[in-house]
Amino acid sequence: MRNQAPDLSVLTDRDCLITFAAMALCCDNAVRDHEMGYHQGGGTAYITAKGIMRRTGLSRTAAEHALRRLETAGLAEPASDSTAWRTSADTLTTPARQAAGTPDQLPRDTNR
């Protein structure tokens, strides 16, 4: 588990963005069940560079590079053998650090 928010700026790169999208879809059990047409059970799904290639049309080199960049940015977790990746459970739910004194809620509209 990371102690800091992931670096979302990596998603400005097209290869990283479509790799992340393919990885998120592949690793979501409900999406996988829908694609297969039946419930496959729980578990943790990972995607390989070859899976990214098949889903996105990226070359193997581009897919591997994007997966490594996503891992470094904290948006992907490698399997124990580092040949497949998944999205981190807390990837997009880690709260961004708020500036000191920034309120949690938007101010009320005083013109009402």
pTM greater than 0.85:
no
**Which CATH number among 1.10.10, 1.20.1050, 1.10.940, 1.10.3470 corresponds to the domain 9-86?**
1.10.10
Collect the ranges in the chain with pLDDT lower than 50: 1, 97-104, 112
The set of residues, in sequence order, having a beta carbon less than 8 Å from that of 60 and lying 6+ positions away, is 49, 50, 53
> What is the chain's alpha carbon radius of gyration, rounded to the nearest angstrom?
17
**The pLDDT of residue 45:** 83
Domain borders along the chain are: 9-86
Q: Alpha-carbon distance 69 to 52, whole Å? A: 14
